[in-house]
Each structure stands twice: as structure tokens, then as C-alpha cells.
Amino acid sequence: MVNRLQKILIVEDEQSIQKLLEFTLMQANYETAIAQDGEQALKMVMEESPDLIILDLMLPKIDGMDVCRQLRNRDIDTPIIMLTAKGEEMDKIIGLEMGADDYMTKPFSPREVAARVKAVLRRTGERAKPKDEMLEAGQLLVYPNRFEVYLEDSPLEFTRKEFELLVYLMRHPNRVLTRGQLLQAVWNYEFAGDTRIVDVHISHLRDKIEENTRKPRYIKTMRGVGYKFGE
């Protein structure tokens, strides 16, 4: 079984810093997701269950402080590293009081980012330990945190994106999901515009989990719209 990479949610509206963080964290062997503003951040925390959040203070719609406060109010204790700009010294203190775990001041070096993330993850490891969630449908059993899929008790091998797609579908059962939604959820717009990648992965998933791919039991095609997971 492939070990699951830890996922870092980057919440930052400045593209240059977004890219720097994304690149640095990928180099350090983390998976990344990006939210452009506070509203999207709150949504993505629920959908993506990141292991850590890098949260910029100054954000459109809902600012970083408010995002932090709202998460903690909902008992979501995902570790948070706040990003502040020079001159926002006061906010650091408030940020830590608000429930952030650490902070970094811009500009920062890639090495500092990687070191901070690693340190915070290690420090909060016990707290952030994922619950052993289990998703079940028919003969299909999936452990999202363990990267394991079983069909009739036999383990199946999946690529990361296939696995993420399956987990997303199973977390949203009996709902019509458009190709665009799936692209956003699983690929994070990486291939924006080209929804064929969704179809290709759905087809791979079906080959693995469906007894009869022409008459799928789990992943149904909603003609002209998208897909629906349901037994």
C-alpha cells in the first residue's frame, strides 16, 4: 500500500507566494491544495481534510483571523501556521491566542517554510492523528486515511488520483457531481478546462470496482451532466 502524503492547504491570495509555497511543499514531499480566500478556505477544510493549513492573515472575503476563529469554534483542530506581513506584529499574538499553532513573517525562505511545517506537524501529530474513517457501499470498503480499498474483502491497488476521486464520490453519495466539480475537488483546477481527465479516471475506477462496466453498480453516468455515486 502506498503511504498517504500529508496534505497542506495553502490559503493565500497573492499568486507569487502561493506558487512559492506550493513549489516548496511539493519539493518537501507534501501534497498541496490552494484556497484563494477565506470563504473558499473554510469550504476546502471540510472537503479536503488537510493535515495542516498555512493561512495568510490578509485575505479577501473572510480574513485569516476569522477563518482561524471559525475553525476552532467548530472544534476543527487542524494545525494552522499563520502568515503575516512585516508590521503586523500585533496580529501574531492575537493569532496565537485565536488558536493558530505558529506564524511566519513574510518574506520567508523556502527552507524556513519546510522546517516550520515539519515542526508543527510533529508537535501536533498526536492531536491531528486522523480518525480511522471508513466509507462503505455494497461490497466496497474504503479507508480514506489509510489509502486502502477493499472489494469483497480483497485489497485493490489505486493511483492517488483514482483513490481521491473514489473517496470524493463516496463522500457525496446520491448526488449528481459535474465533471467541473470533480476536477476542482480532485485536481484542484490543475487541468482546468480539460474534463476528459475525469472521464479517464472514472473509467479506470470502473474497471477496478465494477463487475460490469457497461452496467455500473456504483458509479453511474448522468448523461450530459456528470456522475453519481450510489448503490
Which residues of the shown chain bind Ca ion in the complex (CB under 5 A)? 13, 56, 58
The angle, 0 to 180 degrees and rounded to 10, between the axes of the packed helices 110-128 and 15-27 is: 70
Smallest gap, in angstroms, from Cβ of residue 51 to Ca ion?
22
Residue nearest to Ca ion (CB): 58
Note every long-range contact of 32-35, with CB atoms under 8 Å and residues 24 or more positions apart, other chains counting: 32/7, 32/8, 33/7, 33/8, 33/9, 33/188, 34/9, 34/10, 34/188, 35/9, 35/10, 35/11
Residue 13 or 148 having the CB closest to Ca ion: 13
Q: Which residues pair with 149 in a beta bridge?
A: 142, 156
The angle, 0 to 180 degrees and rounded to 10, between the axes of the packed helices 160-171 and 196-209 is: 80
Residue 13 or 66 having the CB closest to Ca ion: 13
Smallest gap, in angstroms, from Cβ of residue 54 to Ca ion?
12
Smallest gap, in angstroms, from Cβ of residue 84 to Ca ion?
10
Q: How many angstroms separate the CA atoms of 14 and 17, rounded?
A: 6
Residue 58 or 94 having the CB closest to Ca ion: 58
Smallest gap, in angstroms, from Cβ of residue 44 to Ca ion?
16
Residue 58 or 156 having the CB closest to Ca ion: 58
- Reading the block at residue 33, the C-alpha cell is 491544495
Smallest gap, in angstroms, from Cβ of residue 37 to Ca ion?
9
Residue 13 or 39 having the CB closest to Ca ion: 13
